[in-house]
């Protein structure tokens, strides 16, 4: 069995309301999909980069056992920080949370170009944007 984790984060304004999404896909060695699981959420006042990191954390936290996982993201910020040693100048809290979430797993990182027709990246983007709308609607209800 193989696990692929597709992630995306989005923001309406930067900073602004943000959403994140992760899709875990378990496949047999022959590529047959066994299971898919979606995870999403958001915050009222955040940044796009924070949501990109949060998406990976949420996806990893949804794994119930230590496992090899390939993480796909359109965030150069996340991918290159983890693979090329980009400095972690901001979001120290989330980087620490990500490091902890990574510990039990054997991880490979893959960059995918955003908005280029990749099925799971497009789905993650849509789910993250829906999370933003949920956050905004919740804020509106509270103001009413």
Domain holding 112, by residue range, is: 2-143
Give per-residue pLDDT as tens, 63-88.
Answer: 999 999 999 999 999 999 999 999 99
State how far the Cα of 6 lies from the Cα of 36, in Å rounded to an integer.
11
Look at residue 26 in the predicted model and tell me its pLDDT: 96
Give per-residue pLDDT as tens, 98-134.
Answer: 999 999 999 999 999 877 778 999 999 999 999 999 9
- CATH, residue 135: 3.30.420.10
Residues 28, 73, 31: CA angle, nearest 5 degrees: 15
Give per-residue pLDDT as tens, 17-29.
Answer: 999 999 999 999 8
Number of compact structural domains in the chain: 1
Residues 18, 21, 23: CA angle, nearest 5 degrees: 175
Look at residue 72 in the predicted model and tell me its pLDDT: 97
| Confidence bin at 139 (pLDDT 50/70/90) | confident
Catalytic residues: 8-9, 52, 74, 115, 125
Query: What dihedral angle (degrees, nearest 10) is formed by the CA atoms of 89, 20, 115, 87?
Result: 10
Q: Is the overall model pTM greater than 0.75, yes or no? A: yes
What is the SS3 assignment for 59? helix
Output the CA–CA distances (angstroms, integers) from residue 32 to 52, 73, 91, in the order listed.
28, 22, 37
The residue written with tokens 């496949």 in the block is 27
| Confidence bin at 144 (pLDDT 50/70/90) | confident
Strands 68-73 and 33-46: unpaired
Residues 89, 61, 124: CA angle, nearest 5 degrees: 80
């Amino acid at each position: 069995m193989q696990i692929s984790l597709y992630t995306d984060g989005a923001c309406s304004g930067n900073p602004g309301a943000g959403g994140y999404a992760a899709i875990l896909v378990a496949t047999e060695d022959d590529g047959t999909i066994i299971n898919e699981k979606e995870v999403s959420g958001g915050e009222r006042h955040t940044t796009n980069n924070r949501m990109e990191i949060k998406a990976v954390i949420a996806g990893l936290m949804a794994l119930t056992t230590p496992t090899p996982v390939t993480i796909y993201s359109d965030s150069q910020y996340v991918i290159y920080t983890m693979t090329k040693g980009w400095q972690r100048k901001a979001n120290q809290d989330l980087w620490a949370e990500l490091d902890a979430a990574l510990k039990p797993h054997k991880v490979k990182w893959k960059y995918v170009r955003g908005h280029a027709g990749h099925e799971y990246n497009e789905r993650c983007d849509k789910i993250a944007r829906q999370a933003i709308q949920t956050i905004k609607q919740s804020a509106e209800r509270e103001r009413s």
